[in-house]
Structure 1
Amino acid sequence: MRNWFLISGLTSAMLAVSAMPLYAAEKTMTPHFAYVGTYNPNGEGVYRFKFDPKTGALSEKTLASQLPNQAQMVLSHDGKTLFVGSEIDNYNGGKHGAIAAYRIAPEDGSLTLINQVDSAGAGPVYLSLTPKGDHLLVANYISGIVAVFPVAADGKLSDASNSQQDSGPAGAGKPAAAAEGSFAVSDHNGPHAHMIATDPSGKFVFSTDLGLDRIYQWKLNAKTGVLEANNPPFISASSAGAGPRHFVFHPNGKVVFLINEEASTLTSYRFDATNGTLTELHSLSSLPAGFKGTNFAAGIVLSKDGKHLYVANRLHNSIAQVSVTGEGAMKWIDETWTRGDYPRTLTLSPDGKYIYAMNQRSDNITTFKVSPDSGKLTFVDRYVAVASPSQLVIAP
């Protein structure tokens, strides 16, 4: 009997020891979180989700912040801070929007406000960080102003170190390269800055202006946070009235792909890394052959391997798949219905296996699996209810 108790005790002890690493791993495993910015009145602010990297599922929706029209966001490179643009028009009694910095709690993904600053313009619609993460770049759409904000090590924002006002004649009233029957003629009435971001080195900056049909070229003084006009200071859009919107760099750093909102065309550019300038290469439509009518092209993402470009088509309600090369060549491949209405942006999961469509007018997010071989999209039979979603970011 004593031997039985001895064996039993040893067995229990061994089971307990063997279970400890598993339990410890579960306890120390860091959860993944995702954040969705929304527009009022349907959207109430920024929503936090738990993100499952294995299945791509978004779950446990929680309202994390309630500043009005918190639609545009960017995460710090270490995933500890979330920067959000609030498209209010009366920050501190003025006529500008606000930029907020939030600290992310690693245990539950909750947000704590660090501080807010004036966006230095009206309608902050795009935020990006320099490669070192020490400056935040903001494009203010309504006023056509781009600005630079110093970022402290703890994520705190300083007031803008520099702002630049786009100016010049408005672009053509009708997009020359749009599909037959298109009435995509919005906002060619003055400057409307739509995106701003650096090149991979952080030395040069590009910003698009939809209203003026221009891509501005800047040099960034990393010490002072000041934008200096490059030579030439801007290039014209690939076609009259095209409405340059968003762009992405190819992984090789030699080519830029840009979506034109009004014309629904993609344009590739060669990037001169020495001088920080762009040279136009090719253009093609983001819509299938034979399409007639109005469409507004929007979000753009590039696959991890740099072989497949995906574009959100609003009104057509599709995601276009375009094969691309590191030399700037492009070929339209396929289209996928978004299962929603008016896809504003697309988000690629960190591992590149899933793409999410922010369907602004149908108040939902839809998920698509990306084929690692062909790049084709397959709808994952899963809808996420979010009111007027604008942008999704996934924390590391």
Structure 2
Amino acid sequence: MYPSRHLLVASLSLLATTAIAQTQYAWVGTYNPNGEGVYRFTLDSQTGALSDKTLVSTLPNAAQLIVSADGKTLYVASEEEKGVVQALRVDEKGALHELNQVSSGGAGPVYLSLTPGGKHLLVANYVSGSVAMLPVKADGSLAEASDFHQDAGEPGAVKPAAAVKGSFAASDHNGPHAHMIAADPSGKYVFSTDLGLDRIYQYRLDEKNGKLIPNTPPFINASSPGAGPRHFVFTAKGDGLWLINEESSTLTHYRLDAATGQLQEGKTVSSLPKAYQGTSFAAGLAISADGKQLYVANRLHNSIAHFTVMNDGSLIQNDNIWTRGDYPRSLTLDSAGRWLYVMNQRSDNITRFRVAPDDGTLTFVPEYTSVGSPSQMVISFNP
């Protein structure tokens, strides 16, 4: 009798521990005043539903964030003139505890990424047009920038040459505006985009000394004048990347030379339907884990462009799906690739779509999650 009772208690304890270990959190960064900071949601992996909305940081305009691979540390950037990055420890219950704050190395930080080994945080500062490299300490806190690079040069063309007929998508070609920075999967190279200068910068990553070493050449030009390079994702093999151009609403493929770290421009396609005319700004993009499905957010057109990536690297555009919201700023796939979430900034909500496992087709789930001016979502398991 007693052995059975003890066995039952042990089994229940194991089940409880397993349940806790499988808790997923969705962290959402927002813009003031509609958004008040960073919100934490519990994510149900079976239904994709977001629940238990909790404000966990009131950092002003906490619109950009990234979580460490082990889920123990959340990094949040305040998109202010005096840019700061906050390091927060995530405990077992999903509560946040501030570790420290440091300068982002510029004004208006708009993108954060961690190097593959998690030893450095990379920051793109839009307003100042600069990028910085911040060492990550053993406890997850941040040191002051170990390297800094200021973009400089002639601004790109004001009017995007490759935009569709009737487009007035022209903004910020008045100087340097760094928009994204990230290391390739091998951890050897780093790339950053500058929307204002129409450039993609190329670096070699010296993680030992915390330095970004300009490659040869140090940058390449955007795929067309005034295109406004914004965000990119790497291919599943790490042998290239897909880059979305904000002003022209085009998607460009670049091959990556593994030996030199240089990008070679490939084909460019539109992220908008063939018949569309008028203004739209391309925004975020997401790629499936196997690299076969690619999704792009179109602001103003308010759609998700769904592409299938063929074996030869070419794209087939399957559809442009209405987001059911306004001004989709970014897209997030869950860890299993079953759900796609859309941050609809102007309609103050998050919408989600079921992803078909065979062909990546999106099906809208008729539920909305209210949150003011959502900018970005990252997902983690509780530590």
Q: Pick the TM interval, shorter chain.
A: over 0.9
Pair 1:170 & 2:155 matched:
yes
Deviation at 1:166, TM superposition (A): 0.5
Pair 1:102 & 2:73 matched:
no
Q: Return the alpha-carbon distance in structure 1 between the equivalents of residues 252 and 310 of structure 2.
A: 13
The counterpart of 1:198, out of the listed 163, 172, 183, is: 183
Paired residue for 2:38?
A: 46
Q: Return the alpha-carbon distance in structure 2 between the equivalents of residues 33 and 375 of structure 1.
A: 23
Paired residue for 1:3?
A: none
The percent identity for this pair of structures is: 61
Q: Return the alpha-carbon distance in structure 1 between the equivalents of residues 275 and 364 of structure 2.
A: 24
Q: Return the alpha-carbon distance in structure 1 between the equivalents of residues 356 and 324 of structure 2.
A: 19
Deviation at 1:328, TM superposition (A): 2.9
User: Higher Cα Rg: structure 1 or 2?
Assistant: 1
For 2:63, what is the secondary structure of its paired residue?
A: strand
Q: Which has the higher contact order (CA 8 A, sep 6+)?
A: 2
Q: Return the alpha-carbon distance in structure 2 between the equivalents of residues 200 and 267 of structure 1.
A: 19
For 2:11, what is the secondary structure of its paired residue?
A: helix
Matches within 5 A, 1:274-353: 274-325=259-310, 327-353=312-338
User: Which amino acid in structure 2 is aligned with residue 225 of structure 1?
Assistant: G
User: Which amino acid in structure 1 is aligned with residue 94 of structure 2?
Assistant: G
Pair 1:213 & 2:198 matched:
yes
Deviation at 1:54, TM superposition (A): 1.5
Q: Is the Cα contact below 8 Å between 1:214 and 1:234 reproduced in 2? A: yes
The count of corresponding residues between Structure 1 and Structure 2 is 379
The counterpart of 2:224, out of the listed 239, 251, 271, is: 239
For 1:70, what is the secondary structure of its paired residue?
A: coil
Matches within 5 A, 1:64-103: 64-89=56-81, 96-103=82-89
Q: Return the alpha-carbon distance in structure 1 between the equivalents of residues 356 and 25 of structure 2.
A: 24
Deviation at 1:202, TM superposition (A): 1.0
Query: What CA deviation, in whole Å up to 9, does each residue of 1:203-224 have, x standing for no partner?
Result: 1100000000000001111111
User: Which amino acid in structure 1 is aligned with residue 177 of structure 2?
Assistant: H
Pair 1:33 & 2:5 matched:
no
For 1:395, what is the secondary structure of its paired residue?
A: strand
Q: Return the alpha-carbon distance in structure 2 between the equivalents of residues 17 and 225 of structure 1.
A: 52
Q: Is the Cα contact below 8 Å between 2:186 and 2:238 reproduced in 1? A: no
Shifted more, 358-367 versus 18-27: the winner is 18-27
Paired residue for 1:160?
A: 145
TM-score, structure 1 normalization: 0.93
Query: What CA deviation, in whole Å up to 9, does each residue of 1:293-316 have, x standing for no partner?
Result: 000000100012211100000000
* Consecutive unaligned residues in structure 2, runs of 5 or more: none
Q: Is the Cα contact below 8 Å between 1:270 and 1:280 reproduced in 2? A: yes
User: Which amino acid in structure 1 is aligned with residue 87 of structure 2?
Assistant: A
For 2:16, what is the secondary structure of its paired residue?
A: helix
Q: Return the alpha-carbon distance in structure 1 between the equivalents of residues 322 and 68 of structure 2.
A: 32
Deviation at 1:24, TM superposition (A): 3.6
Q: Is the Cα contact below 8 Å between 1:149 and 1:157 reproduced in 2? A: yes
Q: Return the alpha-carbon distance in structure 2 between the equivalents of residues 240 and 328 of structure 1.
A: 24
TM-score, structure 2 normalization: 0.96
Q: Is the Cα contact below 8 Å between 1:38 and 1:70 reproduced in 2? A: yes
Deviation at 1:330, TM superposition (A): 1.5
* Consecutive unaligned residues in structure 1, runs of 5 or more: 1-9, 90-95
For 2:359, what is the secondary structure of its paired residue?
A: coil
Deviation at 1:333, TM superposition (A): 1.2
Q: Is the Cα contact below 8 Å between 1:250 and 1:326 reproduced in 2? A: no
Q: Return the alpha-carbon distance in structure 1 between the equivalents of residues 103 and 79 of structure 2.
A: 11
For 2:156, what is the secondary structure of its paired residue?
A: coil
Q: Return the alpha-carbon distance in structure 2 between the equivalents of residues 20 and 128 of structure 1.
A: 41
Shifted more, 64-73 versus 13-22: the winner is 13-22
Paired residue for 2:106?
A: 121
